[in-house]
Structure 1
Amino acid sequence: MSLPRLAVPLAAALLAALLGGCAALTPAPVADFSSYVVLGENGRAVARVLIDAPACPALQIDQRSVAMRVRSLPASVALRPTVSPVADSKPAVFPLLTCEAELPAPGSYASASVLGRQLPRQSAAPQRIVVLGDTGCRLADHAQNYQACNDKDAYPFARIAAAAAAWKPDLVIHVGDYHYRENACPDGNAGCAGSPWGYGWDAWQADFFNPGASLLQAAPWIMARGNHENCARAGQGYWRWLDPRPLLPQRDCDDPANDKLGNYSAPYAVPIGQDTQLLVLDSASTSWRGFKPGDTGWEQYRDNYRELASLAAQAPRNLAVIHHPLLAMGADRKGDGPIQLLKGDAGLQQSFGSLNPFYLPDNVQTLLSGHVHLWEQMSFSSPHPSQFVSGFSGTAEDIVPLPARLPDGVTPAPGAVVEAFSHWIDGFGFMTMERQGADQWLVQIHDLQGQIRNRCQITGRHSRCERDQVK
């Protein structure tokens, strides 16, 4: 649905905030605006507000009023090439004002709010982290795949977000792919009838901001970029709302002539205490099939690896957040044919592997990813980081089974020797990480109700789970 116009009391509160009025503002209904905190370079926390209003509201930080700046103005963007035929595409409409302001360092203020709504506070050393990804409802004509977005069991992201919020995290990591409502629901399909579609605000609101609202209010987020947010898909919304850095001219994915700029960005580091960093990499435009000679991505991701290695050198312990898993397995089956095991992302393996045969710097202990619509863990006796995949949080799931044990010689990447393997196929949920020491984490796998279905222990580069398969 479209965002309603501000009610009179909210408009009055907004005017008071703009004029630097009193600290106590009338709380606004949740539907009137979206607010959240996203973490970026060096842990910089940025408050964002998406609102139907003529000007940005003010932040209230303790007893001080702080002006927000405009990140992007409302716009109706001309139709650009997408992954769909022109007949199944439409121009993107962004009716809201996007506002932002940097928040003070953790511990330097007691509270921050906007229009009476509290913003989640950043922890300098988060102990409880939610990891989830691939959360949108799939409506894709090019894949002939229409998820029942109107069915809370078939599309449970709102339930997952609420259960994850109830766990009371200090930090949320989304490993990418927020938006899936690309094409119109077919006539006569009751499961998705009436769903908004395309790449504008209405589809983003239905796919992410409305169902994820409780979790957006629970903790600051790290928002990695997935392939569904490249410029030919939902990149316009990603740059307007999710990327933590300033929005650069021509990086908004509106004009396809600028897609080389819009499809790639540099990695960044977020310190999380105890000499540990999260390294966040944009893999929106990699190719799981691998790059061909002359492909732009080959050299772009080689540059990203060099930047990632430089960032990793800043701390002895690092966890990498990359949407596409380098070190995980998937499975596919054509009709009634045999199951084909799929290896990790070939494009990143090629580009990173051309600079490091182990793909990631040796002080990266864990890799957090999505893209494959399941939950998975892998640990290696070779010098590779543990890989976790948390792509089971709303999008139609991968249901082709993985084996309990990988066949001899089967590995997700050349040179990677698997020592432990665990997975959950065809079950929605989210993953949590609780810090137990400088290089130790307890990982728990939660279902729709928040019940724990598996537990894993990370120690340094290695990990081990209680169950090899969740059933």
Structure 2
Amino acid sequence: MISLLKHWTPLLLLTGCAATNPSPSPDFTSYVVLGEAGAAVARVLIDAPACPAIELNQRSQPMTLRAPAETIPLRSTPSAPADSKPAEFPLLTCEAALPAGTTSARVLGRTLPLPKAEPRRIVVIGDTGCRLQKSSNSYQACNDIAQYPFATVAAQAAAWKPDLVIHVGDYHYRENPCPEGNAGCAGSPWGYGWDAWDDDFFAPGARLFDAAPWIMARGNHENCLRGGQGYWRFLDPRPLLKGRDCNAAADDDIGNYSDPYAVPLGQSTQLLVLDTANTTWKGLKPGDTGYAKYQDLYRKLDALAQQAPRNLGVSHHPLLGIGAERKADGRIVLLPGDAGLQASFGSLNPQLFPPAIQAMLSGHIHLWQQLSFASGHPSQFVAGFAGTSEDIVPLPAALPPSPPPAPGAVVEHFSSWVDGFGFMTMERLDADRWRIEVHDLQGKIRNRCELAGRRSVCDVAQVN
């Protein structure tokens, strides 16, 4: 059996397990993920011969094996074969449904967080992994907690005592080996197997797993060419199906897409979770696989949105966000929202989203921002600032009318924080209003906003 002690020592310290315990439990991680209709699933990742039992309401029952320990043969990745390797998963993924009415859940002595019917305190994070990527010659200092601070972000977010955690996607970034002589990332695991997933997400996120159930949206770093195998194995709330697991490139047209689902938040409000992992900023056109797939996604989104008068949407890629890049001559060029989704969704609805959606929660751009519109579009929040190397090209305090974030979108209020790590929180004020706060690494509030209906406004235009 492969030892996982190196990876789990921080987790054991955080959860209070004593190294001197004469009968220690096996090393494991546990968390609760919410899926369709708010169904809660407990997951346990463990290096053991069989899945453990789970205690629900003080009654023991077996957990089900979701995925076995296995090494998946090398498949195509964005990197050359010499910079890729088979994905090794030397542990079991186990799960058990948490039925409505469950009042307590424990596994191997550890208490699991249970969902609330009306979560009022929500943490929003995204883009949490440590970037090791040869193609962009980008090697983040994963060994430096100041330069890769996801563990600090997770601990501060847990201390806020949320009822629910929303991750807007991009969990895995350690794609290629750290270059020889680079002390910042020396010794880091890489590739798409368990060791990289553990160091990128599970070990640093440990305290936040204990704090509340999670909603796990899918980012482009979890498409089938990249971390899709781990996403389907560990994070997606639905059953793991052969062919939808990203193990074989021939199945990618299935594995790269999935249906949206709704999670009730109480007070006639839903959270609608979208899988946009395989879109492209270059755009999509009729005849492209993604164009038709995302048209289908929009139709299903529209049907879900009609089930409640108020909805919050989650998509990794912001259709209504703004990025920036600096050209070789020093000019700063503003970049509109995701062109692939804008083309596909826009072919069915020029407003891009159904009218019952109040706001979209996204990541992908490595900063925090808020946009509200005079054109009837939902507010857009981007919370991609929880660990991955930050985008540092400055944004203006007020956006010019061109380019708009999306065709026809007229920005009324805009706020941003560039080059600062942290997390976003949402606290419910009433059925239609939410208080939004932006927290830094010390937990200090750096900006406050209010979302009322589809419109939002923040105290500060630019966080310094």
Tell me whether the two structures share a fold, i.e. TM-score over 0.5.
Answer: yes
Aligned to 1:197: 190
Report 1:60-459 matches (<5 A).
60-105=55-100, 108-459=101-452
Verify the 8 A CA contact 1:28 1:115 in the aligned structure 2: no
Superposed structure 1 runs of 4+ greater than 4 Å apart: 25-29
Segment drifting more, 334-343 vs 134-143: 334-343
Aligned to 1:10: none
Q: Structure 1 residues 306, 51: closer, same or farther in 2, change over 3 A? A: same
- For these two proteins, the number of residue pairs brought into alignment is 451
Q: Structure 1 residues 231, 62: closer, same or farther in 2, change over 3 A? A: same
Measured after TM superposition, the shift of residue 289 of structure 1 is 1.5
Please give the alpha-carbon distance, in whole angstroms, between the structure 2 residues aligned to 1:189 and 1:424: 29
Measured after TM superposition, the shift of residue 235 of structure 1 is 0.2
Work out whether 1:51 is the aligned partner of 2:52.
no
2:378 alignment partner AA:
P
From 30, 33, 37, the counterpart of 1:35: 30
Please give the alpha-carbon distance, in whole angstroms, between the structure 2 residues aligned to 1:248 and 1:408: 46
1:92 alignment partner AA:
A
Verify the 8 A CA contact 1:377 1:421 in the aligned structure 2: yes
1:220 alignment partner AA:
P
Aligned to 1:462: 455
Identity of aligned residues (%): 68
Q: Could you list the per-position Cα deviations for residues 346-370 of structure 1 after superposition, in whole angstroms to 9, with x for gaps in the alignment?
A: 1110100000010000000010000
Verify the 8 A CA contact 2:335 2:403 in the aligned structure 1: no
Q: Secondary structure in 2 aligned to 1:304?
A: helix
Aligned to 2:12: none
Segment drifting more, 60-69 vs 96-105: 60-69
Q: Secondary structure in 2 aligned to 1:305?
A: helix
Please give the alpha-carbon distance, in whole angstroms, between the structure 1 residues aligned to 2:285 and 2:399: 29
Verify the 8 A CA contact 1:37 1:47 in the aligned structure 2: yes
Q: Secondary structure in 1 aligned to 2:211?
A: coil
Measured after TM superposition, the shift of residue 292 of structure 1 is 3.9
Segment drifting more, 55-64 vs 196-205: 55-64
Q: Structure 1 residues 325, 26: closer, same or farther in 2, change over 3 A? A: farther
Please give the alpha-carbon distance, in whole angstroms, between the structure 2 residues aligned to 1:27 and 1:204: 28
Measured after TM superposition, the shift of residue 26 of structure 1 is 9.7
Please give the alpha-carbon distance, in whole angstroms, between the structure 2 residues aligned to 1:408 and 1:36: 44
Q: Structure 1 residues 120, 26: closer, same or farther in 2, change over 3 A? A: farther
Verify the 8 A CA contact 1:432 1:445 in the aligned structure 2: yes
Segment drifting more, 60-69 vs 261-270: 60-69
Verify the 8 A CA contact 2:285 2:344 in the aligned structure 1: no
Verify the 8 A CA contact 1:136 1:208 in the aligned structure 2: yes
1:76 alignment partner AA:
T
**TM-score, with structure 2 as normaliser:** 0.95
1:3 alignment partner AA:
L
1:381 alignment partner AA:
A
Measured after TM superposition, the shift of residue 87 of structure 1 is 1.0
Structure 2: where are the runs of 5+ without partners?
Answer: 9-20
Measured after TM superposition, the shift of residue 336 of structure 1 is 4.1
Q: Secondary structure in 2 aligned to 1:195?
A: coil
Please give the alpha-carbon distance, in whole angstroms, between the structure 2 residues aligned to 1:470 and 1:158: 23
**TM-score, with structure 1 as normaliser:** 0.94
Q: Could you list the per-position Cα deviations for residues 85-127 of structure 1 after superposition, in whole angstroms to 9, with x for gaps in the alignment?
A: 111111100001110010021xx23210000000001101000
Q: Structure 1 residues 332, 51: closer, same or farther in 2, change over 3 A? A: same
Q: Secondary structure in 2 aligned to 1:410?
A: coil
Q: Could you list the per-position Cα deviations for residues 66-86 of structure 1 after superposition, in whole angstroms to 9, with x for gaps in the alignment?
A: 221110001111110001111
1:394 alignment partner AA:
G
Verify the 8 A CA contact 1:289 1:347 in the aligned structure 2: yes
CA RMSD, Structure 1 to Structure 2 (Å): 1.7
Q: Could you list the per-position Cα deviations for residues 151-173 of structure 1 after superposition, in whole angstroms to 9, with x for gaps in the alignment?
A: 00000000000000000000000
Structure 1: where are the runs of 5+ without partners?
Answer: 8-24
Q: Could you list the per-position Cα deviations for residues 366-388 of structure 1 after superposition, in whole angstroms to 9, with x for gaps in the alignment?
A: 10000000000000011100000
Please give the alpha-carbon distance, in whole angstroms, between the structure 2 residues aligned to 1:386 and 1:142: 34
